[in-house]
Structure 1
Amino acid sequence: MPGFPSGVGFGGDAVLGDKITLIGGTAEDTVLGAPGPPRQLPRDIHDFSGRTQVMARLDALLREDERSPSPLVVAITGMPGVGKTALAVHWAHLIADRFADGQIFVDLRGYSEKAALPPREALGQVLRALNVPSGRIPVDEGELASLYRSRLAGKRVLIVLDDAAGSWQVHPLLPGGASCVVLITARDDLVGLVARDHVRTVPLDVMPTGEALDLVRTVAGRERTDAEPEAARELVQACARLPLALGLAAANLATSPQQSVSDAVEMLAGGDRLSHLAPADHLDSAVGAAFDWSYRGLAPDLAAAFRRLGLIEGPTFTPEAVGAMCAVPAGAAHRMLRRLEAANLVQATESRRYRLHELLREYAKGRAEAEDGGPERDAALRALAEGYAERAREAARSLDPYRRVIGPEPAGTPAETAPERRAADLEWFKAEYRNLVAVIAQTSRAGWDDLTLALADAVYGFFELRRYGHRNVAAQSLGLAAAERRGDVPAEILMRHHLAVAHRELGDLPAALREARAAQELSRRTGDRRGEADALVVIARIHLQRSEYWEALAVTRAALALRAETGDRHGEATTLDTMARGHQGLSDYGPAYERAAEALAIRREIGDVRGEAETLDGIARIYYGWGRAPQALEHAVRALRLRREIGDRHGEAETFSFISYLHVWLGRHRQATLYEVERALSLRRAMGDRLGEGHALVYLSVALRRLKRHDEAIRAGLEALDTLQALGDRQGEAEALNSLSRSLRRLRALDRARADAGRALELSRSIGDRFGVATSLNSLALVALSRGALREARDLATRSLRLRRRIGDRRGEANALDALCKVFHRMGMLDKARRTAFRACAIAAEIEDGHGRMVTLCALAGIAFDSGDHVGAAVYAREAVLLDRELGGRDHHKMRRLYGRMIAAHGDGRLLASLAEALQISFEPRRP
C-alpha cells in the first residue's frame, strides 16, 4: 500500500461553524423579515354596493385575455367622484389571488392639487415596489421603462394606475408581456392609448337610481331609508347619483341617528354651494359641496382637527401626530380620528395609522386656509415638526448612542440600548420615515432652520443603517442649507460629514470626498478635534473604497492622534477598524489583526454591539487572507448573529454574503449551495449596495465555476467587473479578472485567460495588494501549464508560493504547491511532483480546505498512475471521489476515466477491478 500524504483520509468534518441556510421566499423575506411580492392594494370598501354590470364587463375582459398574446389593459373612465377608484380597488381585490407575483397600486395624481406624477417618478416607485434598490434604478426614462418591463417579464402582477392625467403618463407604465393585467382610472378618455396600445375602455357614469338607492340603504341603514322612500329618492337626486357624494351623505345619516332622511335633503338644499349638487354639468362642484355638507356637520373640535390634517404632507398620520397639532393627548386624538373615520373623512390603513384621500386632503387644506389664520396654521405645523423631532432624536439615540448629534451631548457615558427598545425604535422609524422626509421639506420651506437641522440629524442614523442613501442626501442637503443660513458652523460640520457618508455609500466618491474635506477644513479652522477626526475617518474609508491603502493608512494615523487628544473611545475603535482594513488591503495581516484586536477590546469595553459586529467581520476577512478557514468562519458567524440581533440589515447582508463565499471557498457545496450564493447576491441588491453586489457577483462566478457552469460563471464575472470598475474598486476588479481567467482557461480560451490574469496582476501591484499579486501569479501559472509553457508555469507558481509564504497565506501556499506538482508531473519529475502534492494535501487538511485537498488528490492519482503505481492511483482516486461526493461536487467523472485507464493498462483489468471494489468497502487509510 502507498504512503498517504498528511491529512488524506476518508472521514473528516464536512461542516464547520453554524449552518447558514435560506429556505423559501425572497432573500429579504428569509434573512431580514422584509416583505416579499408587493401587496399594495388599498383596503377594500366594506359592503361595496352596485356596479354589477360594469364588473360583469370587467370579468368578461379578463376571461378573453386568457387567450391573448398581449397584456390586458383596461381603463375605467368617468367624471370626478363617480367612483372609479372605489370600483377599481374592489374589482382588484376580487381577482387579486390570480396574481401570485403581487399587486401594485400607483396614485398618478392626475387631477390632485399636487403636480401629476411624472412617468419617471412613477416608474421609480414601481421598481422599488418590485424590490429593485434605489442604487440600481436608472435616471433615463427609457432605461427605467426597459428595466420595468424586464422585471415584469413572465410574472403575474396586477397593476392599478389610479387617476391618470392622460396617455403620456400611462404609456411608459405598460408592461410588455401577456402575464400582467393593468387597470387604469382616468377622467380623460385616453384616446391615444386606445389607438396605440389597444386599451379597453370601460366608461363609468353616475349610478343608476336603483343602485344609488341600494348604496344609501347599505350605508345609512335600510330601515331608515325604507321608512322614507320618497325622501331617499330625493337624496339620491340631490347628490346627483354621484357615489362619492352619496357615500358621504349616507355616512352622515348613519352617524346622526336623530336626523331623518328628509332633514338631510333639506340641508342639502339650504346653501348656495350645496345647490351645485343637482345640476349634472357641475359635478366637479358637487364633490366639494358634498364635502361641505359633511364638514358642516362636524363638532367644532372635529372640524378643527380635520383642518389640521390638510396641513400634513406625509402619506399617513398617527394619533400622536394629530394630538401634537391639536394640543390634545394622543388618546383624545385617536377618538377624534375614529369619529372622522366613521364620517368617511379619513381612512384607517392599519392599527393607529390613518390617511386622507387626496381630494379630502385638498379640501381640508382649503378649509384651513379659509378659516384659520397664518399664525394658527404655522403653530399647528410647528407643533407637528417638534413632536417628530423629539421622538426621532430619542429613536436615533437608541439606534446609535455613540454618534455625535446636533446640540448638547447627553451627560455620562453612552450606554447600549436594550434590544426591545431598539427594536421598537427601529420599527417606529420604518413606519414614519416617509412622513419625516415630508416634514423636513415643510420646515425647510417655512424657514424653521432649527427644526430642519434637528430632523435631518435625527434621521441620518436610520437612513445610514438601512442604506437609504438618496433620501439621506436629500435630508442632509436641506440640513446643510439650514446650517449655512444660520451661520451654525458646528451644525454645518455635522451635515457635511453626514453627506460625505451618504455619498460614499451611493458610490459617488468625488462628492463624498468634497464634503468630507470641507468638514475637515471647517473642523480644523474652529479647533473641533473630534469633528476633524470624524472627517478623516470618512476620507480614509473613501481611500479604501478606491483601493488606495497607503493613503488610507496615512489618514488614519492622523485621525488616531486626534482621538487620543479627545478621549473618544468609540471614535478610536472606529479609526482602528479603518486602519486594520488598510493593512489588510496591503496583505499586512499581522498589523491588521493587531489593530482589529485593539478595536474589538474597546467595542466590548464600551458595549458597542454594532461596532463589535463590524470588527468581527473584519477579523474574519483577515483570517481569510491568512487562509485560515475555521477561524474566518467562526468570526463571521458571530458577526452575523450580532447584526441580526440589532437589525443591521446592511451589515447582515454583508456578512451573510461573505459566509456564503467561505463555504464555496472550502468546497462545501452542501452547505454553500449555488442557491445560497444567489440569495446572498439578492441581499446586496436589495440593499442598493453596489459595491457589495460587485463582490457578491465575484463569489457567484466562483461558485458557478466549481459546478462546471463556466459560461454562466463568465457572465457573472463580467457583470462583477463592470460594477467594480464603475465604482473604482481596483482590488475587486482584480478579483473579478482572476475569476474570469480561471473559467476562460477551463474553456480553453487561453489568450483571453492570460490577458485577464495579467491585468489582474497589474492592478494588484499598483495598489500594493500582495494577496492579489500572488493570486494572479497562480492564475498565470495555470494558463501557462495549459499552454504547455512548463518553465514559465514553474517560474510563476514558484513566485506565487514565495509570496504566499511571506504574507502567511496557508491556503494560497497549498494552491501554489498544487500548481507546482502539476508542472513537475508534466515535466516528468514524478518524485518531485509527488512530494509537492503531499505538502499541498497536508496544508489543505490542516486548514480544512476540502476542495483543495480533493483537487490535489486527483493530481496525486495521476502522478501515481504514471509512476506505475496503479494500486496507489486507485487509492488516491477513490479518496478523491469520496471527498468530492461528501462535498456535493461533480468531479466523479474524472476518477471514473482514470479507473478506466488503469484497468486498460492492467490487461483484462480483473485484478484491479476487484481491488477497487474491495477498497470501496473495507479500506481504512493510514492517518498522520
Structure 2
Amino acid sequence: MHPLQLFQWINYIYETAPWEWVFSGIGVFIISWSGRLLYRKRQRQDVTTVDSSALADQVISLYQQQLTSSGQREQSEILRILPAVDITYFTGREPELSQLSSLIFNDSHQSIIGLWGGPGVGKSALARHFAEEHTEQFPDGIIGLDARGKDANRLASDFAALISEPIDAESELEPSAIMQSRFARRRSLLIIDNAERADIRTLIPGGHCTMLVTTRDRDLLDHIGLRHEAQIRLSPFASNESLVFLQNLVGPQAVHDEEDAACELASLVGHLPLALRIAGASVRSQFLTNHPFIRYVTDLRNEQNRLQHLSWRDADELNILPVFRLSLVHLADGEHRTFACLAACVESGFNLETAAVTAAIDEKTAASHLSRLINLALLNVAPESRRFRFHPLIRLFAQHEAENELDVWDEARKRHASFFTGYVYEHQTLSQQSARDLEAEQDALLQTARWKIEHHDLDTVFWDGVCHLLESQGHWEVGIELMQ
C-alpha cells in the first residue's frame, strides 16, 4: 500500500471515530513507519528514492493540514442561533448576569436555569445578552428557539433539525432520548424562550449541556423540578437604570436637558423595560420638536389613554397591549375574571378580604387566584403585610380587560365601594384601633368617597367618618378637594 493511500485511510478513521486523539497518535506512528518501510523496499530494488525521514515529514505535514482544515470546517459549522430580540440598547442587569454565571460556571454546574418575570421585563433580552457574552464557554454552539405554543416533541425535532441531525418522523424515541443522544456530550447552551408547557422537563439533556428557560410562569419552573435557587426573577428597572436606559435610547444630552420629565416618564410606566423602549422610540422620533420628553409625558399622564400611547407603529413586539395579552393564555376563566375585577382596588394595595369581595368570590378561591397571578408576575405581594399590589401598567391592563372584554368594571367598583362604606360603619367608635384600621385603608376610603360623589350618594355616616379621618391626619386639602 502506498503511504499516501495509508494516510487517506487513517484520515477517514480519524474523522469518523469518536476517539480522535487515539487515532492521531497511531496515525503518526504508522505513517512514520510506512515511510521507512518504503525506503528499505526501494533500496533493495536499487531504485533512486528520497530520504525516508523527508517522506515521512511530507506525509505528516499533509496530515496536519487535513486536521487543521477539518477543525476549521467544524468551527464554521458551530451554530449560533439566538433569541430573535434586539439587544442594541441592553442596559444593566449585573446582579442577574452574575447569578447566571455563578450557577452555570461553578464546580457544581447547574444544568438548567430558569428566568421568569412578567411581560415586557426583558427575559429574552437577558438570555441573548448572556449568550453573546459567553460564546467561548459553549464551544459546541448556542441554540435558541421560541417555545411559545410548542410541545416537547416539536421542540426536540426543531433542535435536532438545526444541528443537521433530523429525526425520522416514524422514530419511536422519546423527546428525552432524542435530546440526550444529540446534546448530552456537547458543551452547548440551549435556550428555550417563552416556555409555556411543563413537558419541557423531558428535554433536559444533562451531561455537559446547559439549558436556559425563559418563562412568565413560575409554576412551570416548579413543575419541571427546578430548585428555587436556580430560578431567577426579573423585575422592572431601578430608577437609575431607567435613566441610563433612556440615555442609551435617545442620547445622554436629551435626557440631561429634560431630566425631570424623563424621571416622570420612567415613573409613569413603572420602569418597565419594554415600555421605556417604546417611549424612547417615540421621543426620538420627535427630535425636531421642542421638549419631546415633556410632550410625551403630557400624553402619558392621562391614565385612560396611557396604554394606547405605549405603542410604536405596527410592531406588535413594541406594543404594550398585545404583549400583555399573551399572559392571559396562562389564566383559567375564573382567574381572568378575578384579575380584571381587582383593577377596581386601589393602586397602593389591598388585602385578601378586599380582593374576595371585589371579585365576588370566597376567600379560599381568592387566595388560589391571587397565588396564580403572583406566580405569573401579574401581581406583587409584600410578605410582611400580606397586601397585594399591581404594577401600574398591569393595573391599567386589568382595567382595560374589565371594561372592554369582560364587562365587569362597574360591578367590581360598586362592590368595592359598598365594602368600604360598611367598613366605615364598623369603625365608628373613636378607639385607637379603629383609627389605625381606617388609616390603613385611607386610599380605599378616598376612592370610595370619589365613587359616591360620582353617583351622588350622600351617605352622612360615611362622610362623617371620612372627614374625621382626614381631620385627624391633617389632610385638609384632600377634604376640600372632595367637597368641591
TM score, norm. by length of structure 2: 0.48
TM score, norm. by length of structure 1: 0.26
Higher helix proportion, which one?
Answer: 1
